Amino acid sequence: MTAAPPGSLGIDEILANARTRLTRVGPLEVAAAMARGAILVDIRPAAQRAEFGEIPGAVVIERNVLEWRLDPRSDARLAFASRYDLEVIVTCQEGYTSSLAAAALQDLGLWRATDLDGGYAAWRDAGLPTV
């Protein structure tokens, strides 16, 4: 095994750094946020959504195109992604990839971006609706 290059970070450090920037929210907080107009974005691939289910009302944007669809400056953005104060909550299956994705959205200027702590699994385990 070769030594890690100087200055490089392991994924655990990258994840911890991302989470220092986020105010992560639990499933009940996410449900309340959606009721007031927040956008829940499900970044899971189609295979995971098919296997485990989906959260009603979530906008599906797979991870590989997330930044392009939500950057207000992007020609490929979705119509609702026109403001930097948009309340966006990202979810994945268990709440790891979503933290990295929410931090990337903050890098774009979406300062209210955060993620669902525990992901879809936490939502389901809280007894909230799924399809």
pLDDT digits 0-9 by tens, 73-124: 999 999 999 999 999 999 999 999 999 999 999 999 999 999 999 999 999 9
Domain-located, residue 121: yes
Domain-located, residue 131: no
Count the domains in the chain: 1
pLDDT digits 0-9 by tens, 18-74: 999 999 999 999 999 999 999 999 999 999 999 999 999 999 999 999 999 999 999
Cα 9 from Cα 28, distance rounded (Å): 33
With left for phi above 0 and alpha for psi between -120 and 50, is residue 92 left, alpha or beta? beta
Cα 105 from Cα 114, distance rounded (Å): 9
Q: Where are the alpha helices (DSSP H) in 2-131?
A: 11-20, 27-35, 46-52, 66-70, 97-107, 119-125
Domain-located, residue 13: no
Domain-located, residue 62: yes
Domain-located, residue 28: yes
**Residue 67: domain span:** 24-125
Say which CATH number the domain at 81 has: 3.40.250.10
Domain-located, residue 37: yes
Nearest to 92 by CA among 67, 68, 58: 58
Domain-located, residue 18: no
